[in-house]
Structure 1
Amino acid sequence: MQLTDDQLRSLDQDGFLVLPGVFTPEEIDLLRGEVPGMVAERRAENPREAGKSTVRNILSLHRRNEMYRRLVRHPRMLEAARQIWARRSTRSR
């Protein structure tokens, strides 16, 4: 998946990029299904709100879950990541 110039400008401006439709609803459901088990884990990668049990963020998913490990290596993600990396690399020169 190649990002458009508009998408790259949006990334530069906003610091993030939303790419609807890259994955099917079924694929997204599979990923979402993994989240409750990871949220329930008491570990440093699940920082909690101060004085509460509410998870504030879930970190390093790709290092502790096979489905997320496969996600970050998926060709639909890698091509866009390489494009962003190349763009940023040429700007820093």
Structure 2
Amino acid sequence: MRYRTLAWITGIWLLFLVGEMIAKYGFGNDGFGWVGIVHGWVYFVYLIFCVDLAVKARWGFGRTLATALAGTIPFLSFYVEHIRTREVKAQYGL
């Protein structure tokens, strides 16, 4: 549940970060510098929970890395969260 929650929060903050980049580089508005900082800290916590889930679910390095990198591409964290949740539920009969 922690991983799922942080995957969604990370995805939402990443979309805010994309909006900030558009505002900054497209329109010259520098008023949203804190969004990147918040996303960075949220992503850090996401990585911790991702590794925690990977250890508990006994994922290999490739699956863990792909799941961790999903928080860096807009909309991908939502998709990967859905896939990983379905896999873990099927694997452990939850």
With normalisation by structure 2, the TM-score equals: 0.32
Higher helix share: 2
Greater gyration radius: 1
With normalisation by structure 1, the TM-score equals: 0.32
Bigger relative contact order (CA 8 A; separation at least 6): 2
